[in-house]
Amino acid sequence: MPDAVELMKLIKKAAIQAVEASKPVQICFGLVKSTKPLKIYVDQKMTLGEKQLILSRNVSGGTSPATTGNVTEYAKSFVGKMPYLYGAGRNYNTLEEIVAAGGMCDCSAFTERVYRHFGAEVGTVVSIQESAGTAVNISQIQDGDLLILEGGNHAGIYKADGQVIHEGGDDYTGNVKISPLSAFTLTGIRRIAVNTSSQEKPTSESGLAKNDEVILIRQQGGQKYIVIGKVL
């Protein structure tokens, strides 16, 4: 669990990049009223249920490490689709919805929705994704790892044999494609715990207890709140 300083860093990063993407975030404080089902009383005015909540890895439990192939196969199914546009893709719940609507997407929205498909929440901007999951070094890299590239300006998903699946192409203007990892400056590797046996299950298991105080964020226009950590 991150300490108070780390939580403030995450909030600051989320706010800065969300504003840059013209999607300001709302910071909320909540109190866990129950865990089964999960209910959180927010800002002393409303109660959020499981359908409105997504748990970050800081407060989630019961997940397993990514299984080789599942994440990458799903990500690979979108190669050649979804033109790149910075800040796009966040008004849709799934990548399938973006494709069906002929919509656009950016790199971090693509990676976020790939992992969300498997019940993991990594955040919708690279500045949050670079702290998601667990850091691993290059000698431990495996299929399905989240890659932070170009000094935190780009993100993708590792595919075996030294490749990366990413939105935007080599010049950030194309569609989803597969490129050599060597074409990028590798900034970080994050191991994301996912549930490969089913699709999105963000609140099926939590590390929260009744009366825990938590911090949540919601992007403007968003329908769900992300629980990013406990108040220490």
User: Is the domain of 175 the same as that of 84?
Assistant: yes
Nearest to 228 by CA among 207, 199, 211: 207
For position 6, which CATH number holds?
A: 2.40.50.140
User: Is the domain of 77 the same as that of 177?
Assistant: yes
User: Is the domain of 108 the same as that of 139?
Assistant: yes
Task: State the Rg of the chain over Cα.
Answer: 17
Q: What's the pLDDT score for residue 201?
A: 41
How many domains is the chain built from? 2
- The per-residue pLDDT for range 61-117, each reduced to its tens digit, is 544 444 445 899 999 999 999 999 998 988 888 898 888 888 899 999 999 999 988
Total H helices, total E strands in the chain: 5, 14
For position 89, which CATH number holds?
A: 3.90.1720.10
User: Is the domain of 192 the same as that of 208?
Assistant: no
Nearest to 108 by CA among 79, 85, 80: 85
Q: How far apart are CA 232 and CA 214, in angstroms?
A: 9
User: Is the domain of 52 the same as that of 111?
Assistant: no
User: Is the domain of 41 the same as that of 26?
Assistant: yes
Q: What's the pLDDT score for residue 159?
A: 93
**Mean pLDDT calculated for residue range 125-150:** 93
**Mean pLDDT calculated for residue range 117-127:** 90
Q: How far apart are CA 37 and CA 143, in angstroms?
A: 34
User: Is the domain of 137 the same as that of 52?
Assistant: no
User: Is the domain of 55 the same as that of 68?
Assistant: no
User: Is the domain of 170 the same as that of 70?
Assistant: yes
- The per-residue pLDDT for range 34-50, each reduced to its tens digit, is 888 889 999 888 999 88
| Domain assignment of residue 36, given as a range | 1-60+202-232
User: Is the domain of 75 the same as that of 162?
Assistant: yes
User: Is the domain of 101 the same as that of 213?
Assistant: no
Q: How far apart are CA 177 and CA 191, in angstroms?
A: 21
User: Is the domain of 21 the same as that of 117?
Assistant: no
Bigger pLDDT: 211 or 207?
A: 211
In this structure, the chain runs to a length of 232
Q: What's the pLDDT score for residue 216?
A: 84
pTM: 0.58
Query: What is the secondary structure of 48-59 as a DSSP string?
Result: E-GGGEEE-TTT
Which pair of structure tokens corresponds to residue 85?
């546009």
